[in-house]
Every structure is written in C-alpha cells, then in structure tokens.
Amino acid sequence: MGILVPEEYGGAEADYLSYALAIEELARVDAGTAVTVSVHSMICSAILKLGTKEQKEHWLPLLASRDVLAGFALTESDAGSDAVALRATARPSSGGYTLNGRKQWCSTGSYAGVIMGMFRTGGPGARGVSAFLFEPNLPGVTIERVTEKLGIHTSNTCDLAFDDVRVGREALLGEEGAGFGNAMTALTAGRIGIAAQAIGILAACLDESVKFAKERIAFGKPIGAFEGVSFKIAQMAMDLDAARMLTYRAAALADAGEPFAIPASKAKLFASTAARKHAGEALQIHGGYGYTTEFAVERHYRDAKITEIYEGTSEIQQIIIARSLLGRLE
C-alpha cells in the first residue's frame, strides 16, 4: 500500500513502473483489489506532491503501513466527466471550513480512514475548487448508500453526504482554488494504475483462453487447433503486449520527471478498450461455460468494462489526445 511512498514515511519508495507491475499482477487475480490499491496509491502520490510537511508526516506513515485506507470523492450527480461543475461547498468558518454537499461513487468511501475530496471554495469554474484531506468519521459525514455494481465487487463504492462538516485549515491540500488542477494531477497518475488494471484483466483473459483452448476438445481435437479460436488468442496476445508497452512508457516518463499526461491517456484508452474487447472474446472462446460463474472469464468480462469509464472515460481520453495535437478549435 506504500509502494509510491518514500522510505522515510515507511513506504517502499518504488517507482511508477514497479507500481504499474504490481497493479497488473493484482488485477490478473482480482480487479477490485487492484483498483483499491490504485486509488490508495494515487492519493499517496497527491499528498507527496501537494501536501504540507505536517500532512506528509501525519498521513503517509498511516497510509504506507496499511493501517489506513485512502478514499476519493470527486464525482457528483451533475459533475462526472464535467468535474468542474461540482457544487459541494467548503465555506470558511472559524479556524477552518464547513463542508456541505453530496458525493457519488466514492472509491473505498465506506472503509477509508482518510478521504481526498473536492469542494467549491470560490465562484464558478475550475479556480473555485479546492482539495481537502479529512477523516470520514467526522460529525456530519454520512454514508448514504453503498453502490451495487456490475463488476469489481471487491472494490467498495459509496455515496457520501456532508452536512455542516467542520474541518480545520490543515485539511486543505495544496492552495485554495487549485483543487481542480490538483484533482487532474492525481487522476493523471491514476490513469497509469487503471491502464495497468486493464492489462491485468487482459492477461488473465489470455491465460484462461490458452488453457481452455488446449483442454477443450471439439470435433476430435483441441479447439485451439481451429483458426476461429487461435486467431482470437493471437490478437489478444498482440494487444496485451501493445498495452503493456504504452503503459510502461507512461510510467517510465513519470519516473524520469518528464511530461506523461498524454502517454498516460493513450495507455488508459488503449488498454481499457483492449481489455473490454478481449474479455468478450475470452468468454466467446469458452462458449456456454464462459457464461457461467464456474469459470473466471465471466468475472473478467464484468470487471473490464469499468476501466473504460472511471478516472476519465474513453471519450475524455480521446479529447485529451486530440487537443494535444490540434489545440482547442472552438
């Protein structure tokens, strides 16, 4: 859990490439566990980049030791891809701020010991948003519901209500009014994690497909002998390698201190698309067996889709990539 945290705070002080490899291997077995670690690591990274000395010394040892899980609260009912439209507020009050509003789809929200949340401290637009770190057991914080999802069942997702929640000034993460940029910084790093999660799902689909294609007999031979199956597996293996190269490149750029936002978007877009596509092909290779819960491919099929949605949809990634080449043409 402290893979990106420096040793001085009790972490492993590993690099982003190591982080991507760890998320990939976790997702190969269970995608929900992988995204829990990914979100946790994303917030550790945000605290390292944006936190005060006191915030780092307080939170990072707890997060690195596994004693505390980190949750993330950005999305609202009318603020998803258009995150700057968020309405939850943080109003100045004696010695700090008072938080009010509702947040949807908070990752690890039911179990988190600290939450990174985005609230409006100023007027409309990105410059009116600030980031906060706070404990979710504060008076006025309520878990309104736990969200039932298609997949990643081992990852907790909930809606949180904030009713006159008092936090001190030390809860502010980064500068006031810089929260939207801080959120985007965190999400950019997180996209490496989601790309790696998608790779792990895809790798599991390849593992299961190869195994089944060798063992399942039809028309007197293993089904892997037929081009209708073997070509699917060949394409799966090729896209897995391509997804890995894109993701490892983004991680290597992050480690080198080079700009990596666009490579991270490309990696997430390609890896998530490939995971969703080939999870369907893996299920098809398994035939009727793949549609049952006796085989893991039905779980991979359900888990893969979310990688195209959270931490920036595929459509948002395409906008980011296109604007890097064309600029804003409005």
Containing 306, the helix (H) or strand (E) segment is none
Of 25, 227, 311, 315, which is the active-site residue? 311
148 is annotated as an active-site residue: no
Structure tokens, 299: 């779980």
CA 10 and chain centroid, separation: 23
Our CA dihedral for 1, 257, 183, 135, rounded to 10 degrees, sits at: 30
Distances (CA, A) of 272 to 97, 191, 316: 38, 10, 13
> Are the beta carbons of 131 and 182 closer than 8 angstroms?
yes
Q: At what angle do helices 227-255 and 261-286 cross, to 10 degrees?
A: 160
Task: Give the burial class of 293: count Cβ atoms within 10 A of its Cβ; 0-12 exposed, 13-18 middle, 19 or more buried.
Answer: exposed
Q: At what angle do helices 31-50 and 297-305 cross, to 10 degrees?
A: 30
Separation CA 173–CA 41 (nearest Å):
16
* Residues annotated as part of the active site: 311
